[in-house]
Amino acid sequence: MRVGVIGAGAVGGVIAALADRAGHDVEVTARGAQLDAIEQRGLRLTGHWGEHTARPRASARLHADEAHQFDLVLLTVKAQDARPALEANASALAGVPLVVVQNGLGGAAAAAAQLPATPVVGALALFAASYLSPGEVSITTPASTYLGLPKATDARPARPADDAALALAERVLGALLPIERTPNFEGAQWTKLIVNQINALPAITGLAVQETITDPRLRAVLTASMREAVDVARATGVRFETLLGLSDPLLRAFSAAPEPLARLLPRLMGRRMGSTPNPGSTLQSIRRGQLTEIDHLNGAVVDAARALGREAPVNAALVELVHRVERETEFVAPDAVAAAVAAARRG
Ligand SMILES: NC(=O)C1=CN([C@@H]2O[C@H](COP(=O)(O)OP(=O)(O)OC[C@H]3O[C@@H](n4cnc5c(N)ncnc54)[C@H](OP(=O)(O)O)[C@@H]3O)[C@@H](O)[C@H]2O)C=CC1
Ligand SMILES: CC(C)(CO)C(=O)C(=O)O
């Protein structure tokens, strides 16, 4: 099959290497040092899903013409880069099934709105991938990826082509990595957004996810931000889809439990991550001197709260702290993080 990957960084690099290893004809887009490295030395995958050096065709944009179309394309850029990346590759995507692997709530729906002639499938990756250096990516925690369709709208009603794209993506990707299908993609996006509450504190402190969870001051902040996000999600009327054992009843119980009991859930999530330090995708952006996706993670909780006429002070404080680190390029000590969040909670 001819498989394209737009944005072969951590997640896209892993999927491109796995597709290459399975014998697919793979083409990726990348930029800067990553593009140079892939062109010169290939794409090196290490970690839990084995080792492989792929030699995909790599350039700034996908190449396709009528006689040489892609069978499946994945979009694996950070949320803030999605629109221009799709625009640059729009001619290769007409009528071609597109899988949008993106955290946050809006990625798949935005791609579907931007490309009306392209069948769009949403994907939520629960595995952790690290971009180690240009051309080198690694799986630090293996886990499933959940596929589903973005909610149909009046502007983009449900279409058989989208169901066919979902079945194709499940078959092709399912042969490469653990894949599950979810009928309630919106609920799955919200559950993933709860999981992604683990991203902000590493980006603010420079610590690995596991270290932020071990630190009692930071685990208290994480517990508060997760509970706030669960409460906002529930107020929108969404039903959480079960991901990694995080079910709707469990998340409701987590939000209602006394705080010391609730703190056990992040601890469990940290244990499941294993011992290889996971920076999370947000700290990886900071380490590369880039802007982060935080407005689409904790920022999505703040936006959803505002739409309901509510506030989400813990999530808002974490967004602000991540932006501070982006601006000032200095990490914040755990005590100062706890103090800033406590001040935000007091109002
Ligand atoms: N890393 C992880 O463990 C996980 C990440 N995710 C999600 O997956 C998505 C991708 O994350 P991740 O792989 O970590 O991100 P990365 O930043 O590692 O990868 C994205 C890549 O796309 C490149 N890129 C961006 N725009 C373009 C463009 N227009 N043309 C060509 N290349 C482009 C980036 O280049 P540059 O570096 O120059 O910006 C980068 O190499 C995010 O939504 C993230 O939240 C989900 C689960 C796990
Ligand atoms: C799955 C997880 C939490 C892996 O770290 C992730 O989505 C991310 O880093 O953005």
Among 5, 43, 78, 99, which is best to mutate for testing ligand 1, by the most ligand atoms less than 8 A from CB?
78
Strands across the sheet containing 98-101: 57-59, 25-29, 2-6, 72-75, 98-101, 120-125, 145-148, 179-181
Q: Model confidence over 49-80: pLDDT tens digits?
A: 999 999 999 999 999 888 799 999 999 999 99
Tens digit of each residue's pLDDT (9 = 90 or more) over 73-124: 999 999 999 999 999 999 999 999 999 999 999 999 999 999 999 999 999 9
If you measure from the C-alpha of residue 111 to the centroid of ligand 2, how many angstroms do you get, rounded to a whole number?
Answer: 21
How large is the average pLDDT for residues 273-280? 96
Confidence of residue 321 (pLDDT cuts 50, 70, 90): very high
Dist CA 242 CA 250 (whole Å): 9
How many angstroms is it from 327 CA to the middle of ligand 1? 20
Within 10 angstroms of residue 300's Cβ, the number of other Cβ atoms is: 26
- Compute and round to an integer the Cα radius of gyration of the chain: 20
Q: What pLDDT, on a 0 to 100 scale, did the predictor assign at position 65? A: 83
Contact assessment for residue 301 and residue 326, using Cβ atoms and an 8 Å cutoff: no
Residue 156 has pLDDT above 90, yes or no: no
d(CA 223, CA 318): 13
Q: Do residues 300 and 105 touch, judged by C-beta distance below 8 A?
A: yes
Distance CA 261, CA 252 (A): 13
Task: Give ∠ CA 46-125-48 in degrees, rounded to 5.
Answer: 25
Domains present along the chain, CATH in parentheses:
2-181 (3.40.50.720), 188-346 (1.10.1040.10)
pLDDT at 66: 80
Residue 347: is its pLDDT beyond 90?
Answer: no
Share of the chain above pLDDT 90, in %: 96
In three state form, how does the secondary structure of 304-326 look?
HHHHCCCCCHHHHHHHHHHHHHH
Whether 154 shows a pLDDT value over 90: the answer reads no
Report the amino acid identity of residue 29. T
Using the predicted structure, report yes or no on whether residue 140 has a pLDDT greater than 90: yes
Please report the pLDDT score of residue 311 as a whole number. 97
Ligand 1 touching residue 226 (CB < 6 A): no
The average confidence (pLDDT) of the chain is: 97
User: 8 C-alpha vs ligand 1 centroid, how far in Å?
Assistant: 7
pLDDT for 170 beyond 90 = yes
Q: Which atom of ligand 1 is nearest to the CA of 131?
A: 18
